[in-house]
Each structure stands twice: as C-alpha cells, then as structure tokens.
Structure 1
Amino acid sequence: MKGFFERNQTLSLVLSMTAASLLTAAALAAVSGGGAAIPRLFTLAMLPRLLGALAMIGGGALATFLAMRLALVSANVAQTANGPAVAPDQLRLLRIVETPAIIRQGRTAQQALDDLDQMIGLAAVKSEINTLIARLQIEARRRAEGMKVTAVSQHMVFTGPPGVGKTVVARAIGDIYRGLGVLKRGHLVETEAKDLIAGYIGQTADKVDKVCQSALDGILFIDEAYSLVSDNASASFGMEAVNTLLKFMEDHRDRVIVIVAGYPGPMQKFLDSNPGLASRFSKTIDFPNYSPQELAHILDLMARSQGFALPQGYEGKIESWVEANSSAKNWGNARSVRNLIEKMREAQAVRLARDPHSSGIDELTPADLDAAIKATEAQVR
C-alpha cells in the first residue's frame, strides 16, 4: 500500500490534503461537542493512529503539519472540559498534542505536564511554563500556516535557593519540548562550574565543548553558574568557559537549550559579566522558598511514597522546625525535608530494634520525629 502511494505522488498529495481537511474539521467538531456532519466518528484519542496513517499516505512532513494545526485544538478541549486552558487563578497547565515524529523515550510531554501539575506550590513557576507552551504552540501554528515566525531565544535563567524544584522543572521542560518538536531528544545534562573548568588555559574550552556536545538536542543545565565568574584565581578559566559556551550556543542555536541556575543576586552578576550572556538568556523564572505549610505537605507525600505513615499532629512540629531553620546557611527546602524523613526512618529502625512490638514497621511515631529533628538541627546550622 505504501509503495502504491509512493509511485503515485499526485494522488498521494490529493488524498493527504483531503484527509488533513477532514481530520481538522472532525477535531473541531469533537472540541465543540457537535458536528452533525461527522457524528461521533472521531475522537481526539484517535489522533495518533490517524496521524500515522496520514504519514504513510502523504509523508511525515504533512502529518507533522497537521499535528501543528491541531496543537491549539487540545488547548480548546481543555478549555471546553475544564475551564480556561491558561487560567492564572487555577494555573491549569495546557493540554498538548505531540508531534508524530518524535523520539519516544521517557515521559510524554503530557505526562511531564501532569507531573508538574502535581508538584506542591510553585504557582508562579507553573504560570511561566504555561506561557512558554502557549507561545510555542502559537509559533507552531504560524509556521504550519506559512506565516512569519520571529526567532526567540529559548535559553533560560532559573533563580532561587536550593531544593525548590529547579532541576525537576528543567527535566520536565526537556520532555515537553521534545513532545512539541522543539528538541529531538529533550534529555537533561546536569553540570556545575567545577565540571567545566580545567587546571590550565586551553583545556577548559575542550572540557566545556565535550559537556555541550553531550547535551545536543536536549537541555544543558548549569547549576550555580555564577561560580564561573567568581572573584578568584580561576576567574580567567571561568571566562574561557563562558566564551566557549556562548560560541556553542550560537553555533547550535536550534539544537540545544541552556538553563543556568542559582541564587538571584549572583546570577545577575553572572549575566552582567559578559555582554553576550544577557542577550541570550532573555527568560528568567524565579523559584521562591517553600512555605512551612508546603514543606509539611511535601514531607507527607515523601513518606507516603516510601510506604510510611506520619504521626498525627506532625504538621505543627514540622512548621515550627522549618521556621526555626529556614534562615540557616545550609537550608535546602525540600532537600532538608528529604533528609529529615531519612533521619525519621533511622530513628524508627533503632527504636524497633530495641522494641520490635512498639509500633508497625510502616508507622513513624512522634518520638521518631523528635529524634529526627534533633539530629538535623546540627546539620542545617
């Protein structure tokens, strides 16, 4: 069948355009809930199979074209079924249709969005992600319709303290951008300044280039990027790393997205250190500290995911613990909470070793929590 269409290109094109028109009309009918001319013969769940058939008839390029034309249809579905697709008060993440020719690995874009939606807090961050997705979908629609699309830098700055989800969000963006066809692989390569700087001039450029090459078609995430331009003896090596990074970003502007992360003040100093940095990193997303109530909720989710039940009334103790320690130099937000639950499990193990019948092995007691708080206080100060 495929060979027949390949030999009859004119017929293939006509059938493809007709199929594209019918699919678009059917999708819009499904969205509106009506469509008497196409009575319940089409649902959005059928899109992947129909797009695959269209790719066989008319080629993958036309299937991709149709997918881009339908990209905003999914947002309309979300609006019809669940209210506005982008609602600042609800922060409902957009529902998206993925391109049919992506490399399937890891999560789909929609799964990544669902995981982001389940994260505690981060309302402003989710709103920014909605904005990014909406912009990409509009650009895809304009491109598919032959309209002019002005290139916009995709590189980003994530500002905020440790343990607030910057790496998690960066990984989700990679999955989302792969689904939207912006990145071919969408994988995340994590690195730090110390991994980019070598001991001798000339070696740093090779080291940076090797890391950058590993991030091609995905995201390069540089944590504490301001360490590259710190005031110390290795500052010249750091600037060599920055210049090499900028050149790589320019040479591969369509194949890599760079996200630099760190505290707000030092990150601004980093951007000011080289005129080329500020122009390439035009998007900044700020990640605030978690509130005590949010961290108490995160602790509960962590415990449940590990098969443990927290003691009744744990919220008050956790919130007091957060308020007492959140200003410490080594405070790590969700990281500190993860450390706390590890200490709770250690305390439970010691307690059960002494008295196996004191409670169930899936229960964490107030005594376990008190012991964990005491053990972590010395670490965060």
Structure 2
Amino acid sequence: MISESYKHQLIKEAKQIDVTLGQTSNFEKLAQEITDELNDKAVLELIKNLGILTKKQSLPKMEQRQEKFIEILYKYLGASKVDGLFQDLKESSNVSLDELLNQLNELVGLENVKQQVRDLIDYNRIQHLRVKNGLKKSNKTLHMAFLGNPGTAKTTVARIVGRMYKAIGLLSKGQFIEASRTDLIAEYQGQTAIKVKRLINRAKGGVLFIDEAYSITENDHSDSYGRESLTELTKALEDYRNDLVVIVAGYTNLMEQFFESNPGLKSRFNTFISFSNYSLDELVQIFIYTCNQNDYFAEDQAIEKVRDLLQMKLNEKDDHFSNGRLVRNLFDDITLNQSKRLSKLTEHIAKESLMLITKEDVPQDGGLFSIEQ
C-alpha cells in the first residue's frame, strides 16, 4: 500500500532529524505516535516543533530536511486532514465564548435549539466552576443527540458547541471530527474495534460528530461488525466522558431505533435536541444570508421568485426534504445562471454587476432538477 511506503519514509526522516539535533529531539517518537495511533495531538506537536526549528536552527541542510518531512507527512495523512487539523485548532483556540454565542445567535431560526445550547453552556460553566472550587459536580455526560431532517444546521451547531466547551475549559483541545459508518466499521473481522479506538483517540479532547448514526446498526440482524462498533463506541462514551463529546445525529424516528439497538446506549446521552424544518420565511432568510456571505446582492424581484420556488418545494416536501441544503443548491444554480448571463456581455463588467442577482438568474419552475434532494 502507498500509505505504508510513506509511513516508513516518515519514520526514517524523523530518525534523521533526531540524529542531527541530538538527544533533546523526539521527532521519531511523535512520528511513531502518528503512524501507530493517528494521534492528532502528536501531529500538531511535531509540526509546531518543526516551525520552531525553522526559525532557530542554522544546521546545514536542516531546512531542506524539514520541508521533505512535511511533504511526506502531507502525503501520508492527506492534505485535507493536516490542513483541517490546523483550521480546527485555529478556530477553537482563538474564538471567545461571546463570539461563539454571537455565531449561534446569527443562525437563521432554530430558536428552541439556540435556547437549549445556551442553557447547556450556562449549566456546564457553573459545574466547571464548582470543580475548580473543590465542590462536587453533576454526573451528567456531555454527549448529545441531534434529531431532525437534513439541512437543519445540525453540523454547524455541533461545531459551535464544541468550541464553546473548549472556551469554558471543558475540553482540552476542541477539535471537531466528523465520522460516518465507514469510519466506524472495518472491512474485516476483528478490525472494527481497532478502527473505533483510533477514531476515539483522534477525537479525545474535542467533539466526535457522527451523522446518520443509525446507519451503524441499520443491518442489525446480520451486521455483527455494526454491533461490534457500537459496543466499542458505548464503552468510549463512558471511559472518556470528561474530555470527549460525542454528538450523534439523524432522522428522529431512525435515531429512536438506534438507541434501542444497544442496552445502556441511551443512558450515555443526557441531552436530546430536536431540529425543526425551516419555514418559508426562514428559507428565504437563509438565501439572503448566503448571498451576503458570498458578496452577492439579490434584487427584490429575484427574491420574490426565489420565494415562489421555495414555496413550491415546501408544498411537495416529504420526510427527506433537505431544508438549508435545498437553498444552497438553488443559490449555486442562480450564480451559475448569473455567470452565463454576464459572460455574454462584450463591454466591461462593473463590480456592481458581478454582485447583482436578477430575476433572470433565478431558474424557471422546470429548472429545479439540480436542487432535488
């Protein structure tokens, strides 16, 4: 496997750096933690050390060796993994609780969700202060279940909650790890528990968000791997409850079946938050907000046409109605149409024209195929 090749190269280069720097260096140890356990903390510590060395070291060829090591690290873990780790660290360490509360309040709709999150933060802040003052705290876990249809901002809220818990001192790192069935279940017998343990190890100190969690046990009568995964996950919920938040999410009725699939699973979750579908006015607000966030401005006639299209989709909706994702797909269609319209112009295109969305850019009734959920 190509990853095995990069693994050997990574450890080899780490050894060379240790040899060059002497006894105080521990690059090989950190590299071993990365390859054996996919330890995110080790990745950050290792690259942090490389950054310090880049500034301070004057040893011959050290800079080239560092660059080669980082290049192999990116190949071994993947650029998105390393970059995402840095982004999560940056966001979780530099944002205050007040800023995060503002981010929560700016979300369209979700008033019940926002209030439950605010109540949770108030409660856990006081519990944390009790511990700091030598008092007993509640035995409630931090784990949560988000129940509702797709596109109702469950992932967005989960990210904000994780950063809030980091901001008030409940989580040591605050990173956000998304997972699905494929991240929790292996292809071969006996490997699933190992896979879950590695995922938990990556998530410790932060949030593990499992969307469509019911898929773990969707083949309950024949899927022994799914049951093995759930057993290991249930154990981790208790073992690491003081520095890990697991948030499971999915359709309400399917999540109820999920909690019934393993004795004791539901008791590990103290907070259940229901995410309602958006109303028509809220969907329109999401569209306007998306325009603003991307430097677009929609004229009134365009907004009214968007409202009509969204009303039509609301009239047709079923249990799989995709809410905010529907709006995002519609926005993508509209900006594509705007680009095609502007590309036909021969004269100079002004900045205002690049920003403006007109009613001509909004698809007709028959043009909704790309925003089907």
TM-score, with length taken from structure 1: 0.68
**Is 1:186 the counterpart of 2:174 in the alignment?**
yes
CA gap of 1:145–1:195, structure 2 versus 1, over 3 A, is closer
Query: Alignment RMSD, CA only?
Result: 2.2
1:316, distance to aligned residue in structure 2 (A): 3.3
Matches within 5 A, 1:168-183: 168-183=156-171
Find the aligned partners of 2:92 and 2:336 in 1 and give their Cα distance: 40
Asked if the contact 1:293–1:315 (Cα under 8 Å) also holds between the matched residues in 2, the reply is no
User: What is the identity, as a one-letter code, of the residue corresponding to 1:187?
Assistant: Q
**Is 1:360 the counterpart of 2:353 in the alignment?**
yes
Asked if the contact 1:296–1:319 (Cα under 8 Å) also holds between the matched residues in 2, the reply is yes
**Is 1:375 the counterpart of 2:367 in the alignment?**
yes
Asked if the contact 1:196–1:241 (Cα under 8 Å) also holds between the matched residues in 2, the reply is yes
Q: Indicate the residue corresponding to 2:235 in structure 1.
A: 247
Matches within 5 A, 1:226-237: 226-231=214-219, 235-237=223-225
Matches within 5 A, 1:271-290: 271-290=259-278
SS at match of 2:356: coil
Q: Indicate the residue corresponding to 1:78 in structure 2.
A: none
Asked if the contact 2:152–2:323 (Cα under 8 Å) also holds between the matched residues in 1, the reply is yes
1:104, distance to aligned residue in structure 2 (A): 6.7
Find the aligned partners of 2:265 and 2:275 in 1 and give their Cα distance: 21
Higher RCO (Cα < 8 Å, 6 or more apart): 2
SS at match of 1:276: coil
Matches within 5 A, 1:60-139: 105-139=93-127
Find the aligned partners of 1:305 and 1:237 in 2 and give their Cα distance: 43
Asked if the contact 2:301–2:358 (Cα under 8 Å) also holds between the matched residues in 1, the reply is no
Q: Deviations over 1:335-369 (max 9, x none)?
A: 11111111111111111222346981211110101
Q: Indicate the residue corresponding to 2:330 in structure 1.
A: 340
Find the aligned partners of 1:279 and 1:104 in 2 and give their Cα distance: 29
In structure 1, stretches of 5+ residues that fail to align are 1-102
Find the aligned partners of 2:346 and 2:297 in 1 and give their Cα distance: 17
Matched-pair identity in %:
34
Q: Deviations over 1:84-110 (max 9, x none)?
A: xxxxxxxxxxxxxxxxxxx97242222
Asked if the contact 1:303–1:310 (Cα under 8 Å) also holds between the matched residues in 2, the reply is yes
CA gap of 1:258–1:104, structure 2 versus 1, over 3 A, is closer
Find the aligned partners of 1:131 and 1:249 in 2 and give their Cα distance: 22
Find the aligned partners of 1:183 and 1:266 in 2 and give their Cα distance: 29
User: What is the identity, as a one-letter code, of the residue corresponding to 1:222?
Assistant: I
Asked if the contact 1:160–1:288 (Cα under 8 Å) also holds between the matched residues in 2, the reply is yes
CA gap of 1:329–1:130, structure 2 versus 1, over 3 A, is closer
In structure 2, stretches of 5+ residues that fail to align are 1-90
1:312, distance to aligned residue in structure 2 (A): 1.1
Q: Indicate the residue corresponding to 1:222 in structure 2.
A: 210
Q: Indicate the residue corresponding to 1:257 in structure 2.
A: 245
CA gap of 1:293–1:144, structure 2 versus 1, over 3 A, is same
Match of 1:149 among 110, 115, 137: 137
Find the aligned partners of 2:257 and 2:231 in 1 and give their Cα distance: 16
Q: Deviations over 1:146-184 (max 9, x none)?
A: 333222111000011111111111111111101111001
Number of residue-to-residue matches in the alignment:
278
Q: Deviations over 1:20-49 (max 9, x none)?
A: xxxxxxxxxxxxxxxxxxxxxxxxxxxxxx
Asked if the contact 1:329–1:380 (Cα under 8 Å) also holds between the matched residues in 2, the reply is no
TM-score, with length taken from structure 2: 0.70
1:378, distance to aligned residue in structure 2 (A): 5.3
1:325, distance to aligned residue in structure 2 (A): 1.8
Q: Deviations over 1:224-282 (max 9, x none)?
A: 00001113676211111100111222222212110000010000100011112111012
Find the aligned partners of 1:231 and 1:274 in 2 and give their Cα distance: 13
SS at match of 2:264: helix
Asked if the contact 1:292–1:318 (Cα under 8 Å) also holds between the matched residues in 2, the reply is no
Asked if the contact 1:157–1:285 (Cα under 8 Å) also holds between the matched residues in 2, the reply is yes
